[in-house]
């Protein structure tokens, strides 16, 4: 049987069962979450919510309009609450924007890229065209992205463009100035900014300030990465109110659970936490990249985000297996179209766990080299 690589990282339960250990015994570099979360503001808000009696969000149905939640997100970004739609993580929102995209026409998907966009389009038989991006010369600077996508030959391919900023899996941060011209070229532009709040200075490159003037623009965000709440599932879309109202009519009545809705406002108000996260990325990212550069057999790519793409001189699948035997998980990149077994993605963790990976890599690389 052909082994299909997982679409996402963070499969702790499956890995633990395979390795005969507990999930807590694994060091997980496969999922790019803040390693020192969730914040105390979440724990306090959750305790407050659970401490209520009859009005507990575990007892009553959530407000179907999600008025308070939409208001908190809108206030956080300075937009109209009608331009906000909360979702059960960004993944649920990709499914609904894909329905819009399938109706609009052919989607352009820059690759390598996040596999979930193709999953969402497949739900609606949406057509797509993969647009390969060169991996040579990538940097962590907010440099231009639009050259290939503004090319007349590329323009004829599709009506819808999907962008990830910062790009996943490379960590490239695209500048707002380079992306803005694309809004004049496509009937629908979908921008996934799930990791952008973690990037030092990243908000300056967000396309959120352009949504009010561009009804063809949709920005999707996730609170999962910033606050380390992957299990809580909370994301949101910001776009034209009429479009988001259609999504609300299509989907289940209560896509966001009451507990997630109750704790979102305190999280969004926790500006200190976002500052702490960005300082960690600014400090730990360049150090980790520099340390990886000193190892033979692998080449890391510069990244503005909390993950690094690594290329091997030879296939890295055996290296991945060696690391698993040491109870260290890394991201298999074969689910990213255009990448093969020569690529891994490494999450940025705290200094101690980053050092544990750096200590394990030379021995694991030596063993995999000796097998050839």
Q: Which helix (H) or strand (E) holds 141?
A: none
On whether the pTM is more than 0.85, the answer is: yes
Cβ(203)–Cβ(341) below 8 Å: no
How many Cα atoms are found within 13 Å in the side-chain-facing hemisphere of 97?
A: 32
Residues facing 107 on adjacent strands:
128, 160
Cα separation, 112 vs 145, in Å, equals 14
Instruction: Give the pLDDT confidence of 116-131 residue by residue, as tens digits.
Output: 999 999 999 999 999 8
- 242 and 166 fall within a common domain: yes
Neighbours of 22 (CB within 10 A): 12
CA 282 to the chain's CA centroid: 18
Nearest Cα neighbor of 205 from 218, 191, 185 is 191
Task: Tell me the residue range of the domain where 366 lies.
Answer: 12-37+272-370
Between residues 85 and 22, the one the model is more confident about: 85
- CATH assignment of the domain containing 95: 3.40.640.10
- CATH assignment of the domain containing 31: 3.90.1150.10
Locus of tokens 């999504």: 247
Is 7 inside a domain boundary? no
Q: How many domains does the chain have?
A: 2
Instruction: Give the pLDDT confidence of 27-49 residue by residue, as tens digits.
Output: 999 999 999 989 999 988 888 88
Contacts of 342 by beta carbon, 8 Å cutoff, 6+ apart: 311, 312, 313, 314, 315, 316
- 280 and 262 fall within a common domain: no
Which of helix, strand or coil describes residue 328? Answer: strand
Nearest Cα neighbor of 286 from 315, 308, 313 is 308
Nearest Cα neighbor of 114 from 215, 32, 34 is 32
Antiparallel, parallel or unpaired: β 27-28 and 217-222? unpaired
- 261 and 326 fall within a common domain: no
Instruction: Give the pLDDT confidence of 318-366 residue by residue, as tens digits.
Output: 999 999 999 999 999 998 988 999 999 999 999 999 999 999 999 999 8
- 99 and 23 fall within a common domain: no
Average pLDDT, the chain: 89
Residues facing 346 on adjacent strands:
308
**Furthest-apart CA pair in the chain: how many Å?**
65
Is 358 inside a domain boundary? yes
């Amino acid at each position: 049987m052909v082994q299909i690589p997982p679409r996402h990282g963070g499969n702790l339960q499956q890995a633990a069962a395979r390795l005969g250990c507990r999930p807590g015994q694994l060091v997980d570099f496969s999922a790019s979450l803040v390693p020192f979360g969730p914040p105390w503001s979440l724990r306090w808000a959750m305790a407050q919510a659970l401490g209520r009696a009859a009005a507990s969000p575990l007892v009553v149905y959530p407000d179907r309009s999600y008025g308070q939640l939409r208001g908190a997100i809108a206030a956080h970004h300075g937009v109209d609450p009608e331009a906000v739609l909360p979702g059960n993580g960004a993944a649920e929102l990709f499914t609904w924007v894909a329905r819009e995209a399938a109706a609009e026409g052919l989607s352009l998907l820059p690759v390598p890229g996040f596999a979930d966009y193709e999953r969402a389009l497949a739900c609606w038989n949406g057509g797509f065209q993969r647009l390969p991006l060169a991996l040579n010369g990538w940097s962590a600077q907010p440099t231009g992205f639009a050259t290939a996508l503004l090319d007349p030959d590329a323009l004829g391919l599709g009506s819808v463009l999907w962008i990830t900023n910062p790009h996943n899996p490379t960590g490239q941060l695209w500048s707002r100035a380079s992306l803005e011209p694309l809004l004049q070229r496509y009937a629908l532009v979908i921008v996934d900014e799930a990791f952008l709040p973690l990037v030092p200075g990243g908000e300056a490159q967000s396309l959120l300030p352009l949504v009010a003037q561009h009804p063809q623009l949709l920005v999707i965000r996730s609170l999962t990465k910033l606050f380390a709440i992957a299990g809580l599932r909370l994301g949101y879309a910001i776009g034209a109110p009429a479009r988001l109202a259609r999504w609300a009519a299509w989907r289940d009545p209560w896509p966001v659970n009451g507990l997630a809705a109750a704790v979102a406002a305190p999280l969004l108000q926790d500006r200190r936490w976002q500052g702490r996260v960005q300082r960690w990325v600014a400090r730990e990212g360049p150090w980790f990249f520099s340390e990886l550069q000193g190892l033979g057999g692998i080449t890391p790519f510069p990244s503005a985000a909390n993950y690094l793409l690594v290329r091997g001189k030879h296939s890295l699948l055996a290296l991945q297996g060696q690391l698993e035997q040491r109870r260290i998980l890394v991201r298999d990149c074969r689910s990213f179209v255009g990448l093969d077994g020569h690529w891994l993605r490494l999450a940025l963790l705290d200094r101690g766990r980053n050092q544990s990976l750096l200590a394990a890599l030379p021995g694991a690389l030596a063993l995999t080299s000796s097998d050839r």
